[in-house]
Structure 1
Amino acid sequence: MLKRALAAVALSTLPSVLTVAPAQADPLPVFCAPATVVDNVCTARLTSVTADVINGTITGAPVGGGAPVTLAGQLDAYQKSTGFSAPLPDAIHQWDTNIDNVNSLSVDPSDPGWYGNAKSRVFMPRTLNDLAVQFPPDVLVVRFTPDDAAPGTFRLVSIQPTAP
């Protein structure tokens, strides 16, 4: 009798478990005017950023105003700097050097160091986010899109220090 009661409860709750709504991505922020959006990707220059090492995100406010946005992305979104004259500011020079160094790491399974190299590549965005906090104002250009997997966070398409 108890087994039947438990089975009935389990079957009655099953439809509510199966009908959980999928996560919905946040719409692009208001400051993403039509001129800055192509294929649902917004481009913005950020005044400055803060980094969250735990979550691997950065948060920054756009130049010209608007609500801050929280962004996260994989290493392939991180681009070397452009438009700066020599000598580069220290944090930007380190950004470029880190990208060069990690891109040269082999993740081929026949390489004895492949696992450590792969970890370096996976965690490099957190290191680069920490460097971005040190950039001069108004140099970080980001391209981002809504992210269904992480409501409240936008997915980086690219992030690049760019001279104003």
Structure 2
Amino acid sequence: MPHARTRAVAAVAAPVLSVGAPTIAVSHADPLPGFCVPAHVVDNVCTTRLTSVSADAVNGTITGTPVGGNTAITLAGQGDAYLKSAGFGDAVPEPIKQWDTTIDSVGSLSVDQFDPNWYGNAKTRVFMPRTLNDLATQFPTNTLLVRFTPDDAAPGVFQLVSIQPTTVS
């Protein structure tokens, strides 16, 4: 009775096959903003200075308006993208001193599994960008230099390559 079995398989398979393949949403990164002209872009990484910023502690993002731009950009990144300040000499503003101190203190925390404080230290490291983003809202105008690239994982948010308080030259 091979024909009866074939008809049974066909009867079961037909409705399943008629449903079609599931649609998979493909996420595409936003293109670099218009102010990212070739002079400011190398290897699809844009460099700009932000006039001022606001921080979103819930999402771990920072939003700022680029110098010479009129559209704010939202950025997010891991702790290793956050760099200590440069070029201030002895006249370092207090929020920037706190930025540098935070990077130093968090960078020295051990997350070795045998360290009894490893879990708390790891949480501190993971949440360091949120702390630094909050400090950045207190920086003098045009102090924050950022390098970023499109981010496929989060449309509307650019991925930080680096973020650093620097003096205006």
Common topology (TM > 0.5): yes
1:65 to 66, 69, 75: 69
**In the alignment, residue 155 of structure 1 is paired with which amino acid?**
Q
Q: Does 1:104 align with 2:108?
A: yes
Conservation of the 8 A alpha-carbon contact between 1:49 and 1:58: yes
Residue of structure 2 in register with 1:36 after alignment: 40
One-letter code of the match for 2:31?
A: P
Match of 2:49 in 1: 45
Question: How many residue pairs end up in the alignment?
Answer: 157
| C-alpha RMSD of matched pairs (Å) | 1.6
Shift in alpha-carbon separation, 1:13–1:50, aligned structure 2, 3 A: farther
Cα 1:113/1:30, change in 2 over 3 Å: same
How far 1:85 moved relative to its partner?
2.3
> 1: distance between equivalents of 2:41 and 2:97?
29
Q: Gaps spanning 5+ residues in structure 2: where?
A: 1-10
Q: Deviations over 1:110-130 (max 9, x none)?
A: 111111100000001000000
Equivalent residue number for residue 156 of structure 1 = 160
Confirm or deny: 8 A CA contact 1:26 1:151 kept in the other structure.
yes
Separation of aligned partners in 1, 2:81 and 2:26: 26
Shift in Å at residue 82 of structure 1?
Answer: 0.2
SS in 2 for 1:152: coil
> Where do residues 3-18 of structure 1 align in structure 2 (5 Å cutoff)?
8=15, 12-13=18-19, 15=21, 17=22
Runs of 4+ in structure 1 deviating by more than 2 angstroms, as ranges, are 10-14
The Cα of 1:106 is off from its aligned counterpart by 0.4
Q: For residues 33-66 of structure 1, what are the alpha-carbon distances to aligned partners after superposition, in whole Å with 9 as ceiling and x for unaligned?
A: 1000000000000000000111000000111123
Give the percent of matched residue pairs that are identical in Structure 1 and Structure 2. Answer: 68
TM-score, normalization by structure 2: 0.88
Describe the SS at the equivalent of 2:110.
Answer: coil
**What SS does the aligned partner of 1:142 have?**
strand
Question: Cα–Cα, structure 1 residues 42 and 14, in superposed 2: closer, same or farther, change >3 Å?
Answer: same
1:110 and 1:32, CA in 2 relative to 1: closer, same or farther beyond 3 A?
A: same
**TM-score (norm. length: structure 1):** 0.91
